[in-house]
Structure 1
Amino acid sequence: MKERLTERIRSLRVSLWTLIVPPSVWAAHFLFSYLWAALNCAKVGQFARFPTLFAVGTVLALLVILAAGAIAYVQQATPGDEPPHESGTRVDRLRFIAKSTLLLAGLSFVGVIFTATPVVFLTDCR
């Protein structure tokens, strides 16, 4: 089962679009966070004790980033030529984009956590 999933992930087509998924999710979560805070303060005047909608949005963003990172992790481990990579083959490009996506997924994961952290500490809208 695990080998079949790994082979399925390796067969996915990788492009620059896959590279921008984690930062795009981070940016969408950032926008969602500010909109949630503004609407919550405008309607209620304070933050909710347990912001269910915000927690669901944060968990969803983290899951999408984790999925992109997991796919990139499998793809960057694709066997290929040994360094130095003097000729750009398809496998070399795949591994480069996958490694870049993996690094961006890690950065985006930390960014989403930092964006969500103030909700835990803030209780007032002043």
Structure 2
Amino acid sequence: MTRDPRRWPERLKVTLWTLIVPPTVWAGHFLFSYLWAAISCAKVGEFATFPTLFVVGTVIALAIIILSGWIAWVQGRMPGGTVPHEDSTEIDRLRFLAKSTLLLAGLSFVGVAFTALPVIFLRSCS
């Protein structure tokens, strides 16, 4: 039995835990952003010329959210079941959780992007 490495998202199970990954990453990035801004303003008095730590944190957050959304998209497109997907079957529950995770990933992506915008446009702490 050989496993195709390209099919690993299909082997994962979408659960309520995977549903909360994108908003949790968004909340973590939000906390990280405000702590970074507070420490930068307290120590230096302004944001760094190029905020490397902030950019790395934002890229990691966006990568986790994109990965979560991609896994949900792949799982939501698995074959099986009839089109309305209103029955109480395992595949319908999987598709519901996958669609919800995908939508939350999109919202969280926008949230992280909007949280990062002040660092791009503002340079002074006052």
- Same-fold status (TM-score > 0.5): yes
* Deviation (angstroms), 1:10: 1.1
Aligned to 2:24: 24
CA distance in 1 between counterparts of 2:104 and 2:72 reads 10
CA distance in 1 between counterparts of 2:59 and 2:113 reads 10
- Structure 2 unaligned residues grouped into runs of 5+: none
CA distance in 2 between counterparts of 1:68 and 1:59 reads 14
TM-score (norm 2): 0.93
CA distance in 2 between counterparts of 1:75 and 1:98 reads 6
Q: Residues 34 and 77 from structure 1, CA distance in 2 versus in 1: closer, same or farther, beyond 3 angstroms?
A: same
SS at structure 2 position matched to 1:101? helix
CA distance in 2 between counterparts of 1:107 and 1:83 reads 26
Aligned to 1:54: 54
Q: Residues 6 and 81 from structure 1, CA distance in 2 versus in 1: closer, same or farther, beyond 3 angstroms?
A: farther
SS at structure 2 position matched to 1:84? coil
Aligned to 2:121: 121
CA distance in 2 between counterparts of 1:83 and 1:59 reads 37
Aligned to 1:75: 75
* Deviation (angstroms), 1:47: 0.6
CA distance in 2 between counterparts of 1:89 and 1:22 reads 25
Q: Report the RMSD for the aligned CA atoms in angstroms.
A: 1.4
Q: Percent identity?
A: 65
4+ residue runs of structure 1 moved beyond 4 angstroms?
none
- Structure 1 unaligned residues grouped into runs of 5+: none
CA distance in 2 between counterparts of 1:96 and 1:10 reads 15
TM-score (norm 1): 0.93
Aligned to 1:93: 93
AA in 2 matched with 1:14: V
CA distance in 2 between counterparts of 1:10 and 1:73 reads 10
CA distance in 1 between counterparts of 2:5 and 2:76 reads 15
CA distance in 2 between counterparts of 1:8 and 1:123 reads 43
User: Does the Cα contact within 8 Å between 2:14 and 2:72 map onto a contact in 1?
Assistant: no
